[in-house]
Amino acid sequence: MKIVIATSNAHKVQEFRAMLEPLGHSVVSAGEMGGMPPVDEDGSTFEENAAKKACQAALAFHCPVMADDSGLEVIALGGEPGVLSARYAGEGGNDGRNLAKLLGKLQGMEDRRARFVCAIALADAQGRLQGCVRGEVQGHMADAPRGKEGFGYDPAFVPQGYEQTFGELPPQVKNRLSHRARALEQAIRQFFPDAPRGAREGNRQEEA
């Protein structure tokens, strides 16, 4: 099956490809469809923003699309940076500045619990929302960034049950247990019930 992913984030596309291609699906990026239309991500939830991205991209591309809105929630900061994860350090910010700002706020704090959240929405070719699912991975924030894998806040996020950060763990491990993997597994089950089984099962089979 051909799945169009409405995102301008190349790292997300790479992860969707790594999770979906072993299952026999091909991933088409927004870039290959002519580029993401501008979307004002002003929703107060990941679900609202994922739905906006999916519906607006489907209208622009004239085909069904899936969109991902995701981010990090730090418990002791009341869920910050949340839906503002990509823009935490303000205009002109980037992954490095966002992470530096967050680790600065967490300096000396004992409670470092955090979770990554991913909402995946599906829109039909007429831009109508078909559904939205959510995946989460719990963990905690390291004191300082470690590792070069992944993107965004990965170098400082240690998933529950591990000692390494997503920046240190091999991508196959992140793609098995991440918020995106968990949302995608549900998305496939809910949106494409006749498709091959979800990403996590698929990756497990691949590794077996």
Q: Which residues are catalytic?
A: 69
Binding flags for ligand ITT, 110-139, as an x/- string (CB under 6 A):
------x-----------------------
Question: Which one of residues 41, 48, 136, 201 is an interface residue with ligand ITT (CB under 6 A)?
Answer: 41
- From 6-14, 56-64, 122-130, 181-189, give the range in contact with ligand ITT by CB under 6 A: 6-14
| Nearer residue to ligand ITT within complex by CB, 141 or 188 | 141
Least separation in angstroms between CB 192 and ligand ITT: 20
The footprint of ligand ITT on this chain (CB under 6 A) covers a number of residues equal to 24
In 3-state terms the chain splits into helix, strand, coil percentages (rounded to 5) of 40, 25, 35
Which is nearer to ligand ITT, 70 or 191 (by Cβ)? 70
Position 166: which residue type? Answer: F
Per DSSP, the three-state class of 143 is coil
Closest CA to 27 of 7, 50, 1, 9: 1
Task: Say what angle helices 10-20 and 199-207 make with each other, to 10 degrees.
Answer: 60
* Residues 177 and 201: beta-carbon distance below 8 Å: no
User: Which of 24/97 has CB closer to ligand ITT?
Assistant: 97
Contact code string over 68-87 relative to ligand ITT, x by CB under 6 A: xxxxx------------xx-
Contact between 103 and ligand ITT by CB under 6 A: the answer reads no
Q: Minimum CB separation from ligand ITT for residue 194, in Å? A: 27
Q: In whole angstroms, what is the distance from residue 68 CA to residue 25 CA?
A: 17
Q: CB under 8 Å to 138, separation ≥6 — which residues?
A: 113, 114, 115, 159, 160
Half-sphere CA count of 53, side-chain side, radius 13 A: 27
Write out the residues near ligand ITT by the rule CB under 6 A. 7-9, 12, 36, 41, 53, 68-72, 85-86, 95, 98, 116, 150-154, 178, 180
